Amino acid sequence: MTGVPLSWYLILSALLFALGVAGFLFRRNIITVFMSIELMLNAVNLSFVAFSYQLKQVNGHIFTFFVMVVAAAEAAVGLAIILTVFKNRETLNVDEVNSLKN
Amino acid sequence: MNPISQYYTATDHFVLVPAIMLALFGCAILLLDTWIIPNPSQRKWLLPVFVLPGLGLTGFALWRQQAFLAASGSAEITAFQGALTVDGFSLFFNWVFLIASLIVALVSYKYLEIEGEHHGEYYGLILLAQSGMFFLATGTDLVTLFIGLELMALCFYILVGFLRTDKRSNEAAMKYLILGAFSSGFLAYGFSLLYGMTGSTKLRDIASTLAMRDAWDPMVFLAMATTAVGLLFKISAVPFHMWAPDAYEGAPTTVTAYLSVASKAASFAFLLRIFMGPLAASRASWEPLLSIVAILTMTVGNLAAISQNNVKRLLAYSSISHAGYMLLGLIAGNPTGIKGVSVYVLVYVFMNLGAFLVVVALRRKDLLGEDVEDLAGLIHRSPGYAILMLVFLLSLAGIPPTAGFLGKYYIFLSLVETGHYLLAVVGTLYVAVAVYYYFRLVRSMFQTDASVTEPLATSLGLRVSLAASAALTLAIGIYPEPFLRLAQSSLTR
């Protein structure tokens, strides 16, 4: 890791985050949308670890663990909810799950 | 030289007891409910066996903290090296959460029986969600706040989708989950930048380091903007409000009631902690941004509510517009403004819960009871409920002598004090719009003939909660002194 400046990590993290946001906005499959959110959270992890390494602290590393736990819990709850949606409707397309609207 | 006592002191324990009680009883319900109450027909015992003792002990722990603060004369108790802070602010909000949980737990029994989904998990999730809210109001560290937010949000995702076989409930849960997780991503990104710039996750250290930087520094601005996006999602401010009407409409009505008051109060506690703490120094950059958001929120909330025919959806848009009013208090930012937000939150809990409780009573075995027409002729069928609903709607519209007027009064007063005249004028104009759609409901209740003659689904808990909410809505409006003192105590932060 020596020689690679902090800014490179931050740019990579920002790019990954932007990719996640783009995936969230433009993909229509619920599972893919969910994976895009995981990508955003992992971009956050990368930036935490990079900052933590730069600052020679462990705070950022610890935050990373908590973000991972949250991501895992969200995936567990999220997939369960997606499963019930699929059971009731036989579709995973976000646009077709639209019985609630003005 | 006991190594453990260094990391978990008596003070730490004292501060943590409310959360321990909530988590303990929440998990106890999840693990033991079918063991202690094996017969599904006896589920009504869940409430006195688990929920009331849990909430009671939490209340006792909070009361002891309050007494300790009053006796010691100090402004705050910090624990876990500054990760948690008990002060007037955190205690005020924790009392609000406790009241909301208690009322919702009391009214849910009959409703869930009708829906055929009365399970112990429901109460367990309510208690666990409240422990998340405890950390949102008490936390003063980015990690604690983030975990508290997620704990609360995860419980709410499940609660919103609690009616497993109902398509609308599934859909609401899915939309809430996807958008909620998305906003958490933004929030976490903002937190990582705040940490990177300051080298600390403690709000106090972040505040002192950021105070030395320019508000328009691009890094500070990016951190502020991403954090704000995450927070504004949670309070359902426009343009991040899309989840609210769908989640409110699809969720079980009791959960909608809980979501609309407790989750909103907790998110506002979180918002105030962040914006009046670490981001206080960059006010120059966020004040114009939040002013635009507040105006948009009041506009969309009030205008979209006019054309709604589903009462839950109408109240969802009305709660969006209320979030806009509360934001105005933060924008004014002086002690009157913050006190105004506290008063507003307190008042909002009673009036909004009350309005939703009437909708809960309208749900019958074969009748959804969510449309404006379902309120028709309520005054002839159940005059008591119609009168109570009238009180809640008057209060939501902000008409004296009800409590809603008081909340709006302090918000507008603070805006005038700080010279935000334009915002005050816009806010006042939208009150007139709000009166129109609230009175659509009143007209339906009082002027049209009853289409359905089936009696309302009531229970003892529901009647007690409704009476208490209405009494407090009127009491705060007529004799506000003690409640204002309570809100004043939330200023010690």
Q: A55 to chain B: nearest residue by CA?
A: B199
Domain residue spans of chain A: 6-97
Residues of chain B with pLDDT under 70: 1-2, 492-493
Show Cβ contacts of residue B9 under 8 Å, excluding neighbours closer than 6 positions: B79
Q: B181 to chain A: nearest residue by CA?
A: A37
State the pLDDT at residue B493: 61
Nearest-angstrom CA–CA distance, B297 and B396: 16
For residue B155, the number of C-alpha atoms closer than 13 Å in the C-beta half-sphere is 27
How many Å lie between the alpha carbon of B332 and the closest alpha carbon of chain A? 32
Nearest-angstrom CA–CA distance, B399 and B397: 6
In the CATH hierarchy, which fold is given to the domain comprising A6-97? Helix Hairpins (1.10.287)
How many Å lie between the alpha carbon of A1 and the closest alpha carbon of chain B? 18
At which residue do the structure tokens 């609903």 appear?
Answer: B389
B142 interfaces chain A, CB cutoff of 8 Å? yes
Say whether A63 and B200 touch across the interface (CB within 8 A): no
Name the pTM for this structure.
0.94
State the pLDDT at residue B169: 93
For chain A, give the percent of residues with pLDDT over 70.
97
Nearest-angstrom CA–CA distance, B168 and A98: 9
B240 interfaces chain A, CB cutoff of 8 Å? no
Q: Which of B296, B456, B267 is nearest to B375 (CA)?
A: B456
CA angle B25, B30, B33 (to 5 degrees): 90
Nearest-angstrom CA–CA distance, B428 and B396: 14
At which residue do the structure tokens 């002013």 appear?
Answer: B291
Q: Give the N- to C-terminal CA distance of chain B in Å, as an integer.
A: 34
Q: Is the pLDDT of residue A2 over 70?
A: no
| Cα-based distances in Å from B110 to B47, B55, B362 | 12, 20, 11
Q: Give the N- to C-terminal CA distance of chain A in Å, as an integer.
A: 53
State the pLDDT at residue B38: 82
Task: Assess contact for B324 and B301: CB atoms under 8 A.
Answer: yes
A16 interfaces chain B, CB cutoff of 8 Å? no
For residue A64, the number of C-alpha atoms closer than 13 Å in the C-beta half-sphere is 17
In b/e form, how buried is each residue of A66-98, taking b as 16+ CB within 10 angstroms?
Answer: bbeebbeebeebbebbbebbbebeeebebeebe
DSSP category for residue B456: P
Q: Is the pLDDT of residue A1 over 60?
A: no
How many Å lie between the alpha carbon of A19 and the closest alpha carbon of chain B? 13
Where does chain A show beta strands of DSSP type E? none
Q: B200 to chain A: nearest residue by CA?
A: A59
Which residues of A fall within a CB distance of 8 Å from B313? 102
Q: What's the whole-number mean pLDDT along residues A60-65?
A: 94
Task: Assess contact for B269 and B93: CB atoms under 8 A.
Answer: yes
Q: Is the pLDDT of residue A102 over 70?
A: no
How many Å lie between the alpha carbon of B366 and the closest alpha carbon of chain A? 20
Which tokens belong to B240?
């991040």
Task: Assess contact for B150 and A61: CB atoms under 8 A.
Answer: no
Residues 453-492 of B with CB under 8 A from A: none
Which residues of A fall within a CB distance of 8 Å from B161? 81, 84
B110 interfaces chain A, CB cutoff of 8 Å? no
State the pLDDT at residue B195: 95
A78 interfaces chain B, CB cutoff of 8 Å? yes
Which residues of A fall within a CB distance of 8 Å from B191? 44, 63
Q: Which of B203, B215, B213 is nearest to B143 (CA)?
A: B203
Dihedral Cα B130, B133, B137, B138, nearest 10 deg: 70
